[in-house]
Amino acid sequence: MANQEVVFPPDMSATAAMPGSSRRALYACRGSASTSLRSPYRVLPGVDDEYRARPPCATSWVVEAIRASSPARSLAVDEYDAWTRLHPSALGSFEQIAAAAEGKQVVVFMDYDGTLSPIVADPDMAFMTAEMRAAVRDVARHFRAAIVTGRCVEKVCSFVGLPELYYAGSHGMDIKGPTSNQGDTTAAAVLLQPAREFLPVIAEAYQALVEKTKGTPGAKVENNKFCLSVHFRCVDEKRWSSLAEQVKAVLRDYPDLKLTEGRKVLEVRPSIMWDKGKAVEFLLQSLGFDGRSDVLPVYLGDDRTDEDAFKVLGKSGHGLGILVSKFPRETDASYSLQDPTEVMEFLLRLVQWKRRRSSSATRARV
Ligand SMILES: O=P(O)(O)OC[C@H]1O[C@H](O[C@H]2O[C@H](CO)[C@@H](O)[C@H](O)[C@H]2O)[C@H](O)[C@@H](O)[C@@H]1O
């Protein structure tokens, strides 16, 4: 990753990536949070005036949201069955998916944690298996493929280890193209960093959060460069409220940052209108694929933050969202898979299908 230049593809900039918007609109999302319980992805404003608007349950609401993002209770079989009728297994419905992909260029977007790698207690140990890596490598040989993650690009690149992929790190705020060899150096073109000016404030907030949370056993603050993750997974549930309070207290000094929640994690990020969905739109535009009915984007993800991407594909009318979850959840994804093992199986079937299509096309030509 030697090349740190911000390079916009022709006719594309942070603002051009959002049709009809001005750069100011990037900053317009404070207070735009939907607090609807039906909303699968709620933005939790990180500023005190917003919290004053929703007292006194705001902290318990944050804690509830974190709890709900990682359900652990076992469900009645029929409850799960009812849900899978709405969001059928992408494996069980593979023929249907293959039929939708017929004659189209498939673009595969993959979330990392909980999708390609199993959820583990220590975020620094969330490795993917060698088998999964081989499957993702095969996917990249046959399709345009991207990893879209909350992790910083550098960390996820070191976990995935496949330079041929596109990477959208920090929840899409750091987008890089495949790494190419240039003599004895390698370079990945930085395609977009829409939150660059927030780097100093993020670095400062990171230090403040580390300091504030250091007395909470098990709490961990992860620096994802353009955003931060405050991990609750190893913290005793009895301390979740006070940890959420600590995070909120720090954010009062940073009105340009906001909070969202994920799987036993609070994410701190710049208050700009940018998310994984925007990153997917940007990548499709960069590849010259947006709005094309002969392109089928497929997005696999497990977390609340992936809902933004599911929404974008749902709205476009020709994309497929696949939610990775063992538990029924409100989602904009059309299909489901239970866990990373099923994700791997799905990716392998996709590659197998593509190989069969390519060899029958070759046979037809000779
Ligand atoms: O967008 P993703 O690739 O899903 O990244 C979202 C966050 O994932 C990581 O946290 C989650 O996975 C950890 C390892 O399994 C787990 O310990 C934690 O509880 C999960 O929330 C990552 O550490 C975060 O930085 C990402 O934002």
Burial of 364 (0-12, 13-18, 19+ CB in 10 A): exposed
Q: Which atom of ligand 1 is nearest to the CA of 265?
A: 21
Cα distances (Å, whole numbers) of residue 155 to 25, 105, 160, 270: 30, 29, 9, 20
pLDDT value at 34 more than 80: no
pTM attached to this predicted model: 0.83
Question: What's the pLDDT band for 362 if we cut at 50, 70, 90?
Answer: confident
- Given a contact cutoff of 8 angstroms between Cβ atoms, the answer to whether 258 and 29 are in contact is yes
Q: Phi and psi dihedrals of 120, rounded to 5?
A: -130, 165
pLDDT value at 26 more than 70: no
Q: Which candidate in 81, 111, 138, 306 is catalytic? A: 111
Domains and CATH numbers, the chain: 40-69+196-270 (3.30.70.1020), 77-194+274-365 (3.40.50.1000)
Query: Where does residue 99 fall: left (phi above 0), alpha (psi -120 to 50 degrees), or beta otherwise?
Result: alpha
> Is 174 tagged catalytic?
no
Question: What's the pLDDT band for 284 if we cut at 50, 70, 90?
Answer: very high
Question: What is the reported pLDDT for 282?
Answer: 96
Comparing 21 with 354, the larger pLDDT belongs to 354
C-alpha 25/C-alpha 44 separation (Å) is 18
**Hey, what are 281's tokens?**
């739109």
Question: What is the reported pLDDT for 366?
Answer: 67
pLDDT value at 60 more than 90: no
pLDDT tens, 113-133?
A: 999 999 999 999 999 999 999
Comparing 33 with 294, the larger pLDDT belongs to 294
pLDDT tens, 235-275?
A: 999 999 999 999 999 999 999 999 999 999 999 999 999 99
pLDDT value at 28 more than 60: no
| Mean per-residue pLDDT, 355-360 | 85
Which of the listed residues 265, 268, 339 should we mutate to test ligand 1's pocket, taking the one with most ligand atoms within 8 A of CB? 265
| Mean per-residue pLDDT, 192-212 | 97
Question: What is the reported pLDDT for 248?
Answer: 96
User: Which residues sit with their C-beta closer than 6 Å to ligand 1?
Assistant: 111-114, 119-121, 123, 126, 149-151, 222, 224, 229, 231, 233, 262-265, 267, 303, 305
Comparing 318 with 111, the larger pLDDT belongs to 111
pLDDT value at 38 more than 90: no
| Mean per-residue pLDDT, 310-329 | 93
Burial of 118 (0-12, 13-18, 19+ CB in 10 A): middle
Question: What's the pLDDT band for 202 if we cut at 50, 70, 90?
Answer: very high
**Which region among 11-20, 137-146, 151-160 has the lowest average model confidence (pLDDT)?**
11-20
